[in-house]
Structure 1
Amino acid sequence: MPVATAVPNALASPAAPAATSVSGGGRSTASEGRFRGDIQGLRAVAVLGVLGFHAGVPFMAGGFVGVDVFFVISGFLITGLIHREVLRTGRLSLGRFWARRVRRLLPATAVVLGAVAVMTIIVLPVTRWESVAWDVGASSLYVVNWRFADQSVNYLVADDAPSPVQHFWSLAVEEQFYVLWPVLVLVLVWLHRRYRLRLTVVLLAGIAAIGLPSLLWSVHLTDANPGQAYFVSTTRLWELAVGAALAIVVHRLERMPAALAHLLGALGLAAIVLAAARFDESTPFPGTAALLPTLGAAAVIAAGAARRRTLAGLVLDTAPMRDIGTLSYSLYLWHWPLLVAAAVMWGGDDGTLPLITSVMVVGFAAVPAWLTYRMVEAPIHHAGMFARFPRRAAALGVACTVVGVAAALVVAFCVPRPTYAGDVDARGAAVLDDDPASDPDGEPVDSVDVMVPDVLAAPDDVAQLDGQPCISDVKGTDLETCTYGPEDAEVTIAVVGDSKMHQWLNAIELIAEARDWRIVTYLKSACPMSTLEIGLDGQPNAWCSEYNDARIAELMGDESVDYVLTSQVSGYAFGDAPRDERRDMMAADLQRIWADLEDAGRDVIVMIDNPNPEGDVMECVAANEDSLTECVFSRETGDQAGGSPPQLAALAESDGVGSVDLRDYICPGDECPPVIGETLVYRRGSHLTASYVESLTPRLDDALTAAMD
C-alpha cells in the first residue's frame, strides 16, 4: 500500500519481552533457560513483513499479518515468564512483572513520541498538529487503539492522512494485555489452590474463557464493523491467548518426533509467508483470516520447542535474522513516523511515495533504531538499579509517560489559533461571471490577503441544516432524517445521497427559507443511493445496503415528496469486475432507480459531483500559503475521480430527469484553484467547504429552479 493514501491496515508491535527462554512447565526441563533463536528470527519475519507492507513492496501486500505473529510471540513469552515464576515461587509479584515491562518498553517509546512531536512541528502541515497532539497523548497512555477505532467510523475524519503514531495501536493492545493478564493469572492460581485443581487445567481453562469469545467476537465484528474490528483489543485477545496456551503446554513438545517438528515448523512458516503474499487490504481482517498467520506462528514456536534444529530454525535461527529480531522493537517504533514525514516532503500529489523512496526510508530507519536500542532500550532494560528496585522502575514508567503527555501538550500549545476574517467580505463564487472559464477571477493565484475559512478552521467548516449535521454515520442502518421548512409547503424536496450531497445543505437551507420549501434529508456517509453493493475499506458495506433498502422504500412510498435531489461520490459498484464495467453497472443502476422514482411521481434532479482533487487541498494550502498555485489540480482528472462519469452516463439515457451542474463554478478552467474569491474551496478530501457552498447559493438557486421547470 502506498504509504500515505489511507489509514494503514496494520502496524506490528514487537513488544514482547526481550528474553526468549521457555519454561518446561511443571518441572525443570532441558528447555528451561534455553535461548530461542528461532523466536528472535520469527520477530524478524514479522517486522520485515510490516516494513515491506508499509513500503508498498508489491509481493508483501499482506505484510500487516506481522502484527498477528507478534501477538502470538508476546502471549507465549509473557505467559512463560509468569508461569515459571508461579511454579518457582508459588506466587506472582505484580510489581516486578510490571517493572520489567516498564523498563523494556516505555523508555524507547518516550524517545520516539518526543521525536514525533518535533517532527510534527517541523514537517507536518499545521492542519494536522491538533490531531497528532491527541494521538501522541493517547499513545503515551496506551489507549490510542480505541481512539483510532472510533475514528474509523467517523466520516468527518475519514479523509485524514494517517497519524505518525498510527502504529502505536498494537502497542496499546499489548500493554492492556500486560496489565490485565497477570491479574487474571493470580485469580486462576487462587482457584487452583482453593479447589485443589491442576494448575495446567485451570490456566488453560482461563485462557480458553478469554480466547474463544474473543475469536467469535472478532469474526462477528470483522463482518459488522471492519474499521473498529481492526483496532479494538477485544478482537485481538484470542491471538495472544494462542501464544499463552502454547506456553503452558510447551514442555510436552520437547520429545516431538524430528519429522513432525520439521513439518510443523515448515508449514507454520509457509502459512505466515502465504498470508503476507496473498492477503491485501481487501481481505476481511482480523476475523477468520487471522487464523492463518496466528496458527502459523504458533506452529513455528511449537516446532522449535523440540531440542533439535528444524527446517524453520535453519532459516530463522541465523545471525542476520536474530540481529533484525533484536532491533525489531526500535525498528518498528521508528519506521512509520519516518515514512509519514517522507510522504509529506517527497510524496506525489496524492501523498504517496515512489517505491524506491519508501524502501530507502524504511532502510534508513535502521539507523535511529540501532541508536535507540544501544543507547536507551538495552541499557535501561538491563540496568540493575531498576531490576532490583521495582519502585524505581515505577518512577521510570511515570517519567516516560509524562514525557509522552508533555510532547502532546507541546504540539497542542504550538497549534496556531484560527484567524477569522471578521467583517471582510470573502466573495467566493460571487466573483465569477456567467462564463467562468474565461473569467480571470477564476484563475489560480499565488496568495490572498485573507482566506475564509482560515485553513485551521476548515476541517470544521462542515455543512449543516438548521444547525444540525443531518447525516447518518457510516456505522448503523437506522433511517435518520431531518426536516426543515413549513409542513404545508407547496414544494417538498428529499435531499438524498452520501456526504457529497450533504455538503450542499447550507445553500439548500438558504434557498428553502427564501422560497418556503420543505426539506427532508435521507443522507448517510459513504452510502450513495444504489441497489448495488457498495464498497467500504475494500469490503462490502452491509450497513449501506440495508440502509438503502429502507431509504428507497421510504422515498417510493412518501407521496409528500415532490422532488428527489441526489448526488454521490461513489462511481463504481463493489466487486471483482473490471473498473469500467463496475462504472457502467453503477450508471445502469442509477438509471433504474431514477426511473422508478419518476414512475412513482417523484421528479429526480441530479447534482453532478464536483471535481475530486488528487491530494488534500487543505493541507497543501496550509503548507503553501504564499504559493497557492502549488495546490491546483487537473479538471479532467478531478471529473474522472468522483461520481461524475456514471451520473452523466445515466443522465444521457434518462428522459425527464433534471440535473444541476455547478462544476464550472467550482473549477472554472482546466486547472482547479484551491481558493476562489478569498474563499477556500475544499476542506478534507474532495468535500467543499460550507463557506464556498454558501457563496454558490445564487447559482444553485438558478440551476435548481430551472431543473424544476
Structure 2
Amino acid sequence: MRRPSAVPPPPPAAMPPPPPAAAPDPLPSVATASRRAGPAPSSSRPRFRGDIQGLRAVAVLAVIGFHAGLPIMPGGFVGVDVFFVISGFLITSLIDREIGRTGRLRISRFWARRVRRLLPATAVVLAAVAVVTLVVLPVTRWSSVAWDVGASALYLVNWRLAGQSVDYLAADDAPSPVQHFWSLAVEEQFYVLWPLMILLVLWLQRRYRLPLTKAMLAGIAAIGVPSLIWSVVLTETRPGPAYFVSTTRLWELAVGAALAVLAHRLTRLPAGWTHLLGLAGLGAIVLAVVTFDRSTPFPGVAALLPTLGAAAVIAAGLPGRRTVTDAVLDTGIMRDIGTLSYSLYLWHWPLLVGAAAMWGEAGGELPVAIGVTVAGFAVVPAWLTYRLVEAPFHRARVYVRLPARAAVLGVACTAIGVAAALVVSLAVPTAPADDGAERAQGAAVLDDDPAADPDGRPTDTVDHMVPDVLEAADDVASLDGDQCISDIVGTELESCTYGPEDAEVTVALVGDSKMHQWLTAFQRVADERGWRIVTYLKSGCPLVTVDVELDEAANEDCAEYNRTRYDHLRELESVDYVVTSQVASQAFLGPDASRSERFDAMVEDLRDVWSGLEEAGRDVVVMIDNPWPPLDVMECVAEHGDELSACAFPREEGASNGGAPAQRTALEDAPGVAAADLTDWICPGETCPAVIGNVLVYRRGSHLTATYVDSLTPRLDEALTAAMR
C-alpha cells in the first residue's frame, strides 16, 4: 500500500487516497407516478434493484483495492464517484416517490431516515478509531487525529482536508485514520442541501404552475451545472482542495438525481439499448479503474467517465428487465458485498492505517500482500457492524423512526464521535515544563571534524531533548516571527524583508521549503553582519524554469510563479547574492520520461538559471539539501525513546534523495557558483543520528527543526563567508 500523502493528490495522496461514501437506502426504486397522472396509490412499493447492490460492490472493491495498493487498480479511487451517483439517484427516488404519493415532502422524516441509516455505524467506527489511535499510533499523531475525528463527527472533515492540502507544514503528515470520511461529509452536506432545494422547487412550481418534471430538472441543473464547471476550473488551478470540497462534487450527485427524476421516461427504453447502456457503463467504470492513476487531474473532466458510467448502469436497469450486466452485478456474492459496502467502507481504511503504523516499511508504506490481507479482514468488523448496528437501526421500530426520536439518536451519535475526539485530545501528554533548553546545544557540541566526534554518533538515550516530540512539528523556522513562505497553490509573488535598508549587502533567499528551513539561522547571521534579507519562497517550488512535479503532474502554479520570480530577481539590482536550495532533483517531463532523463533536465536547468542570474550581476550560493531520512524521525523517536539508535539511518541513503544529487551534479560544471554545505554537521558520520547535542534534528519528513538549524548558525556563517569571497 502506498502511504497516502496529507497533501492529498488529485487524485491523492494526498492525499490520502480517496475513499467512497456509502450509498444510502438499500432498497432502490424509481417513482412510478407520472407527473401528469397525479399521486400514485399509497400501496406502490419500490422494486429491489440487485444490480445497484452489485454496483455498490464494484465501487467499494475498487476503492479498497486502490487503498490496499493493488497495482491493477491504480484508478480505484473512482469508486467514490460511483457511490455519489448511486446516492443521488436513491435519495431523489425516495423524495420523488413521497411527492408522487402525498404531493409534498416531509423533510423531518427524510432526515430521520438518513440519521438511522448512517450515524449509528459512524459513531461506532469513530469510537473504535479513537481506541486504535491511542493503542497503535505514535503520540505525535494523536492531536491531529483528534481534530480529524471531531471534524468527521460533524461531517466537516472534507473542508479540513482541503485546507491541509495547501499547507506545506502538513505536507509530510501521515494519513489520518478517518481521512476517508471526507466523502461521507460531502454526502451529508448534500442531504442537508438537497431536500431544501426541492422544497424551493415545489414552492416555485406551485406558485407559477410549472410542470413538475421540468421544475425539478431546472433545480438540479442550477446546482449541478455550476458545480461541474467549478470542478473543472478548480481541478486545473487548485487540485488539492478540488478533490475534497463539496462544491466540486455536487454535480456527480446531481447526475444521479436527474436520472431519478427522468426514471418514469427511461422505463420505456428498448431491450437493445438497456444491454448497450449497461455494458458501456460498466466498461467505463472498469476503464477508469485500470487506466486512471494519481497523476490524473481529478475530479474535473476525468470524473465524467466513471460518473456517466454509473449513471448508464443504473439507467439500464430502469425498465425492470434483466440485462447482460446482471450476470456480473446481480449475483449473490455481489449483492452481499453491496449490502456490506457502507460498513466495509467505514472499516477498511482505519485498519490499513493501523497496519501501516505497526508493519509498514520505511516511509510508512504497507506491503501489498499485508494491505490486501488487512483489507480482507475488514469484512469481520463490517459484518458485525451491519448485523448489530446498521441493520437494527435501519429497520427500527416505529418509536425510533419518529423524527423527534431520530433527532435524539443523531445528537447522541454525533456526541459519541465528538467525545471520542475529546478523549484522544485529552490523552495527549503535555510536554515537560523543564525541557532542558539551556542544556541543549545541538550542532554546537560538534568540533571542526564532526565525523570523528563521538558526540555526532547515534545514541540510545538522552537525559532531555529539545524540542519535545510533541512540539517538534511546530518547531518551524521564521524570519522575525513570520513564516515568509507562500502556499503550494497560488502564483502571486510574495516576499519578506529584514534588516537595514542601507545595508551594504542584500541577500535574497530563494527556493522552496528547504530554503525556508534556514531562515532562523540566516536571521542571526544577518544581525551579526548587518545584512538585509529579502525572501522569495514558495512551498514545493524550487527556483527553476522547467516543470516540477506535484502529485504526479506538472505544478502549473509553480511554473507561473517561477517565471515572475526569476525575471524579478534578474531585474532587482539591490540584490547582491541569491542563496537557494530545493527539495527536487528531477524535472517533470511527463509520465513516459525516465528517471535519468528527468534528473538530467533538472541539472541542465539549474545551470542555466544560475548562469542567468550571474549574467544579471547576482552572485549565486547553493545551500546543499540536507540528507533525507527514509523514515519519519519524529514519530520514530516518539516510539523508541529508549532506543534512539533505531531512528538513525545511513548517510549514503539519505544523501541520495532530495535536491542534493542534482545540486551537486550541476555544481560540477558551474564554476562561478559557490556552495554552502553543512551536511557534515547534520549527519556527522556514516550514520545520521536522530538527536545531536540533545536536540532533535528532524521534524516532519526531511525538514530540520528550527532549534537544530539555530544551533548551526556559526557553521552557516563560516560556510557563507567562504562562499561569498
Class of the TM-score when normalised by the shorter of the 2 chains: over 0.9
**Deviation (angstroms), 1:615:** 2.0
Pick aligned residue for 2:700 from 681, 684, 695: 684
Q: Which whole-Å CA distance do the structure 1 matches of 2:389 and 2:46 have between them?
A: 25
Secondary structure, counterpart of 1:189 in structure 2: helix
Q: Confirm whether residue 635 of structure 1 aligns to residue 651 of structure 2.
A: yes
State the secondary structure of the residue aligned to 1:445: coil
Q: In 1, distance between residues paired with 2:714 and 2:86?
A: 63
CA distance in 1, matches of 2:74, 2:3: 12
Deviations 1:328-354 (A, max 9, x none): 000100000000000000001110111
Q: 1:380 is aligned with what amino acid? A: F
Query: Is residue 22–residue 31 contact of structure 1 (8 Å, CA) maintained in 2?
Result: no
Q: Which residue of 1 aligns with 2:427?
A: 414
Alignment map for 1:376-415 (pairs within 5 Å): 376-415=389-428
Equivalent pairs counted in the alignment come to 709
- The answer to whether the 8 A contact 1:4-1:340 is kept is no
AA partner of residue 646 (structure 2): E
Aligned residue number for residue 565 of structure 2: 551
Match of 1:94 in 2: 107
The answer on 1:11 being equivalent to 2:19 is: yes
* Corresponding position: 1:335 with 2:348: yes
Q: Which amino acid aligns with 2:79?
A: G
SS in 2 for 1:496: strand
* 1:432-511 correspondence to structure 2 within 5 Å: 432-511=446-525
Q: What is the CA–CA distance in structure 2 between the aligned matches of 1:505 and 1:328, rounded to whole Å?
A: 49
Q: CA deviation at 1:386?
A: 4.3
User: Partners in 2 of 1:182 and 1:656 — Cα distance?
Assistant: 67
C-alpha distance in 1, partners of 2:45/2:595? 57
Query: For residues 384 and 372 of structure 2, what CA distance do their matches in structure 1 show?
Result: 20
Out of 13, 23, 28, the position equivalent to 1:20 is 28
Aligned to 1:527: 541
Matched, 1:594 2:644: no
Q: Is the 8 A contact 2:27 2:46 kept in 1?
A: no
- The amino acid of 1:514's aligned partner reads E
Residue equivalent to 2:438: 424
CA distance in 1, matches of 2:235, 2:443: 44
Paired amino acid for 2:711: S
Q: Which amino acid aligns with 2:719?
A: A
One of 310, 315, 319 as aligned partner of 1:302: 315
CA deviation after TM superposition for structure 1 residue 314, in Å: 1.3
1:2 aligned partner, one-letter code: R
Maintained 8 Å contact 2:442/2:695: yes
1:207-222 mapped onto 2 (5 Å cutoff): 207-222=220-235
Query: What residue in structure 2 maps to residue 83 of structure 1?
Result: 96
**What's the secondary structure of 2:325's corresponding residue?**
helix
SS in 2 for 1:38: helix
Q: What letter is aligned with 1:700?
A: L
Within the alignment, does 1:345 sit opposite 2:358 as a pair?
yes
Quote how far apart the aligned CAs of 1:31 are.
9.3
Q: Which residue number in structure 1 is paired with residue 127 of structure 2?
A: 114
Q: Indicate the SS of the match to 2:490.
A: coil
1:706 aligns with 2:722: yes
Which shows bigger deviation, 76-85 or 21-30?
21-30
Structure 1: stretches of 5+ with no match in the other structure: none
In the other structure, the counterpart of 2:713 is 697
Residues 522-567 of structure 1: CA deviation (Å, up to 9, x unaligned): 1111110010111111222121111111111111011111111100
- CA–CA distance in structure 2, aligned partners of residues 256 and 314 of structure 1: 20
Checking the alignment, whether the CA contact within 8 Å between 1:492 and 1:517 is kept in structure 2 is yes
C-alpha contact (below 8 Å) 2:31/2:100 kept by paired residues? no
Shift, 1:17, TM fit:
1.8
Corresponding residue for 2:333? Answer: 320
Q: Which amino acid aligns with 1:350?
A: G
Q: Does 1:279 align with 2:298?
A: no
Q: Does 2:684 align with 1:668?
A: yes
The amino acid of 1:662's aligned partner reads L
Q: Is 1:573 aligned to residue 581 of structure 2?
A: no
Pair 694,3 (structure 1): closer, same or farther in 2 beyond 3 Å: closer
Q: Give CA deviations for 1:627-678 in whole Å, capped at 9, x if unaligned.
A: 1111112211211110011101110000111101111111112221111111
SS of aligned partner of 1:424: helix
Which residue, out of 547, 551, 559, partners 1:537? 551
Q: 552, 575, 581: which is aligned to 1:561?
A: 575
Whether the 8 Å contact between 2:23 and 2:56 is mirrored in structure 1 is no
TM-score (norm 2): 0.96
Compare 124-133 and 433-442 and name the one that shifted more. 433-442
| Of 235, 238, 248, the match for 2:261 | 248
After superposition, the Cα gap between the structure-2 partners of 1:134 and 1:388, relative to the gap in structure 1 and judged at 3 Å, is: closer
Instruction: State how far apart, in whole Å, the 2-side matches of 1:33 and 1:555 are.
Output: 68
- Of 601, 605, 620 in structure 1, the residue corresponding to residue 636 of structure 2 is 620
Cross-structure match for 1:257? 270
User: Compared with structure 1, are the counterparts of its residues 647 and 25 closer, same or farther at alpha carbon in structure 2 (3 Å cutoff)?
Assistant: farther
Question: SS where residue 686 of structure 1 aligns?
Answer: coil
**Cα distance in 1 for residues equivalent to 2:267 and 2:679:** 70
Q: 1:159: how far off?
A: 0.7
CA distance in 2, matches of 1:651, 1:388: 72
Structure 1 residues 35 and 404: CA distance shift in structure 2, 3 A: same
Instruction: Output the amino acid matched with 1:660.
Output: A
The residue type paired with residue 264 of structure 1 is L
- More deviation in 614-623 or 315-324? 614-623
What corresponds to 1:129 in structure 2? 142
**CA contact 1:162–1:340 (8 Å) conserved in 2:** yes
| Cα distance in 1 for residues equivalent to 2:638 and 2:4 | 17
CA distance in 2, matches of 1:143, 1:386: 29
2:436–2:464 CA contact under 8 A, matched in 1: no
Q: Deviations over 1:504-538 (max 9, x none)?
A: 01111001101111111111111100101111112
Structure 2 runs not aligned, ≥5 long: 6-12
What is the identity percentage for the equivalent residue pairs of Structure 1 and Structure 2? 68
> Following the alignment from structure 1 to structure 2, what is the Cα–Cα distance between the partners of residues 423 and 500?
25
Give me the whole-angstrom Cα distance separating, in 2, the residues matched to 1:272 and 1:370. Answer: 26
Give the match for residue 653 of structure 1.
669
d(CA) in 1 for partners of 2:66 and 2:689?
34
TM-score by length of 1: 0.99
1:512 aligns with 2:518: no
Secondary structure class of the residue paired with 2:382: helix
| SS in structure 1 of the partner of residue 675 of structure 2 | strand
